[in-house]
């Protein structure tokens, strides 16, 4: 099966809308993250070699390098989420409890990674709001909103998977990671949005 990332966007949108097992919300969460990171990258790229921003060029280039890494990984997760979901579906068809549990744990790693990448990207968004091209402040706002949407969507998919996992220690471990991080990302998003609002 051809990867969605190698096909026109219209194909992905049609399949997401259709009565198909995948792609679904998990894959769409990764796409939201990609869009958010790409908005931030645009701001950073418009700050490179821009007159009046000479003092922050090294930092901006470092931010671009990190955001490019996040964009590549999130892009890969668009298709990886689809593949992982199909493995979970096959595991349920097998009615093998061990296979089901293992597939659910593996599947959970995909939204967890989305969640963590997008949370980290918010820290870069904060810095861009401070030093980035002020003419693109609305694009920083859009990037942050897309990232926060991806974070909340990924959290939802993590929680759905956890409901079907029976190992209590595994559940507790994931909740201890996700809950505080989600609160941190909400606080950071609010701070950035206040900052960008003041710069409009």
44-88: pLDDT as tens digits: 999 999 999 999 999 999 999 999 999 999 999 999 999 999 999
User: Which pLDDT belongs to residue 15?
Assistant: 97
Residue 138 belongs to a domain: yes
The residue written with tokens 């995948």 in the block is 22
Query: By CB neighbour count within 10 A (0-12 exposed, 13-18 middle, 19+ buried), where does 176 fall?
Result: exposed
Residue 14 belongs to a domain: no
Give the model confidence (pLDDT) of 96-147 as tens digits: 999 999 999 999 999 999 999 999 999 999 999 999 999 999 999 999 999 9
Residue 12 belongs to a domain: no
User: Which pLDDT belongs to residue 102?
Assistant: 96
Give the integer Cα–Cα distance in Å for 142 and 36.
7
Residue 7 belongs to a domain: no
1 pLDDT higher than 80: no
Residue 157 belongs to a domain: yes
Give the integer Cα–Cα distance in Å for 43 and 126.
12
User: Once rounded to an integer, what is the mean pLDDT over residues 8-31?
Assistant: 97
Determine the Cα angle at 48 with ends 42 and 51, to 5°. 120
What is the greatest pairwise CA distance in the chain?
A: 63
2 confidence band (pLDDT: 50, 70, 90): confident
Residue 11 belongs to a domain: no
Domain count, the chain: 1
Measure Cα distances from 49 to 45, 56, 63 in Å.
9, 10, 14
User: Once rounded to an integer, what is the mean pLDDT over residues 159-180?
Assistant: 96
Closest CA to 123 of 59, 53, 80: 59
Residue 152 belongs to a domain: yes
Q: Any idea what the CATH number is for the domain that residue 151 is in?
A: 1.20.120.680
What pTM does this model have? Answer: 0.95
Its domain, for residue 178, covers: 22-197
Q: Which tokens hold the place of 193?
A: 């949005």
Residue 85 belongs to a domain: yes
Backbone angles phi, psi at 23, to 5 degrees: -75, 160
Give the integer Cα–Cα distance in Å for 105 and 159.
12
């Amino acid at each position: 099966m051809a990867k969605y990332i190698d096909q026109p966007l219209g194909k992905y949108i049609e399949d997401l809308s259709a009565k198909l097992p995948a792609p679904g919300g998990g894959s769409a969460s990764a796409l939201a993250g990609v869009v958010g990171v790409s908005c931030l990258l645009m701001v950073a790229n418009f700050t490179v070699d821009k007159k009046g921003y000479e003092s922050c060029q090294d930092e901006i280039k470092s931010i671009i390098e990190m955001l490019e890494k996040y964009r590549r990984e999130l892009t890969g997760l668009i298709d990886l989420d689809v593949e992982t979901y199909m493995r979970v579906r096959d595991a349920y068809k097998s009615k093998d409890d061990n296979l089901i549990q293992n597939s659910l744990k593996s599947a959970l790693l995909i939204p967890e990674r989305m969640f963590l990448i997008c949370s980290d990207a918010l820290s870069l968004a904060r810095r861009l709001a401070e030093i980035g091209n002020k003419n693109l402040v609305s694009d920083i706002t859009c990037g942050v909103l897309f990232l926060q949407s991806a974070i909340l969507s990924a959290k939802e998919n993590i929680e759905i998977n956890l409901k079907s996992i029976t190992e209590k220690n595994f559940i507790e471990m994931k909740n201890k990671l996700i809950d505080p991080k989600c609160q941190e990302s909400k606080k950071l998003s609010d701070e950035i949005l206040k900052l960008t609002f003041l710069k409009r």
